């Protein structure tokens, strides 16, 4: 199990702050590698808000006693004093990011970005931008550089802006058939991202024209199917570079690219650095 987390002034206990409109208290990430199950249950909830991002795999959440499977590409929001009950199972290979925040104007800020008072689960798609923002928040809390509290709020605002944009796009494509087909395709791409994937073959196998499938998938997620597959593979590669000693050629094959040079080129294009430099920066 991989864990990386940080807490404001080392305070692991939750707290309420009304002196700021928005304030970040803690954030972190879990990647379940070998542990069979990681359960969390807070019957009385917390004093702050919690936003979780399922970056890969899936997790089991309970809302008012009802179990719901939340797959990669979704975020979950808990509000103060709400019961929090969820489980991560090792075989599902979940990678989850989370942030706790508080403040005197949080509810209005969430509404500003299209998050209604009753909503718990949001479809966001998988994006390297989300992981970047969470990792930057973790680092700010760990290093505590000058004005880090203000920087944390800016990062959280950026995350909420991206979430709001996605929520604004999704209703145009909302519809039973398109919604279920797109989410099924996204889950399939996650589970088979290391294999050769052909969008045309997938569409044909599911009785859809390629153009309709690509158009609907992009309208619903904000990405074309190939862009989505690329983001999943790059995210998987980042995880392997961070947590294993596999060389770049091995990681290239694991995530679905037979040609390591091609993999390195697209990794640099997406991340701004080569896979080797990415690993050196993390370990440095």
Q: What is the pLDDT of residues 131-160, one digit of tens each?
A: 889 989 999 999 899 999 999 999 999 999
Residues 179, 212: one domain? yes
pLDDT band at 28 (very low <50, low <70, confident <90, very high): very high
pLDDT band at 217 (very low <50, low <70, confident <90, very high): confident
| Residues 96, 184: Cα–Cα separation, whole Å | 20
Please name the residue that has the structure tokens 């279920």. Answer: 180
- Picking from 148, 241, 254, 137, the residue whose alpha carbon sits closest to that of residue 195 is 254
Decide which of 170, 189, 218 is a domain's last residue: 170
Is the pLDDT confidence value at 15 over 70? yes
Decide which of 136, 170, 204 is a domain's last residue: 170
Decide which of 155, 170, 185 is a domain's last residue: 170
Residues 256, 178: one domain? yes
pLDDT band at 244 (very low <50, low <70, confident <90, very high): confident
Residues 178, 137: one domain? no
- Picking from 257, 134, 138, the residue whose alpha carbon sits closest to that of residue 197 is 257
Phi-psi sector, 72: left (phi>0), alpha (psi -120 to 50), beta: beta
pTM above 0.85, yes or no: no
User: Region 83-94: what's the mean pLDDT?
Assistant: 90
pLDDT for 221:
75
CB proximity list for 261: less than 8 A, separation 6 or greater? none
Half-sphere exposure of 280 (CA within 13 A, CB side): 5
What range does the domain containing 201 cover? 174-283
pLDDT band at 176 (very low <50, low <70, confident <90, very high): low
Is the pLDDT confidence value at 263 over 90? yes
Residues 203, 157: one domain? no
Residue 222 per-residue DSSP state? S
Residues 160, 199: one domain? no
pLDDT band at 173 (very low <50, low <70, confident <90, very high): very low
The CATH number assigned to the domain holding 136 equals 2.60.120.280
Hey, which of 30-44, 54-68, 98-112 has the most confident mean pLDDT?
98-112
Is the pLDDT confidence value at 17 over 80? yes
First-to-last alpha carbon distance for the chain, in angstroms, is: 21
Q: Total structural domains in the chain?
A: 2
């Amino acid at each position: 199990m991989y864990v990386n987390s940080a807490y404001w002034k080392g305070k692991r206990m939750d707290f309420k702050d009304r002196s700021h409109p928005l304030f970040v208290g803690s954030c972190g990430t879990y990647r379940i590698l070998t542990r069979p199950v990681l359960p969390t249950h807070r019957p009385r909830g917390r004093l702050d808000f919690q936003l979780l991002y399922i970056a890969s795999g899936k997790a089991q959440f309970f809302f008012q006693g009802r179990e719901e499977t939340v797959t990669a590409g979704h975020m979950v929001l808990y509000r103060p004093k709400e019961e929090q009950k969820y489980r991560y199972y090792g075989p599902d290979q979940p990678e989850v990011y989370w942030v706790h925040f508080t403040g005197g104007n949080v509810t209005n800020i969430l509404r500003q970005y299209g998050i209604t008072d009753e909503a718990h689960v949001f479809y966001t798609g998988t994006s390297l931008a989300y992981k970047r923002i969470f990792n930057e928040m973790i680092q700010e809390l760990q290093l505590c550089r000058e004005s880090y509290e203000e920087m944390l709020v800016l990062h959280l605002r950026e995350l909420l802006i991206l979430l709001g944009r996605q929520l604004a796009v999704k209703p145009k494509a909302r519809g039973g058939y398109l919604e279920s087909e797109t989410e099924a395709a996204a889950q399939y791409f996650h589970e088979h991202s290391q294999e050769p994937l052909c969008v045309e073959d997938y569409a044909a196998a599911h009785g859809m024209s390629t153009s309709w499938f690509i158009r609907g998938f992009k309208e619903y997620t904000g990405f074309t199917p190939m862009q989505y597959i690329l983001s999943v593979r790059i995210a998987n590669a980042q995880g392997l570079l961070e947590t294993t000693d596999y060389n770049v050629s091995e990681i290239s094959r694991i995530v679905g690219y037979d040609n390591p040079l091609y993999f390195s080129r697209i990794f640099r294009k997406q991340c701004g650095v080569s896979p080797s430099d990415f690993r050196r920066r993390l370990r440095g």
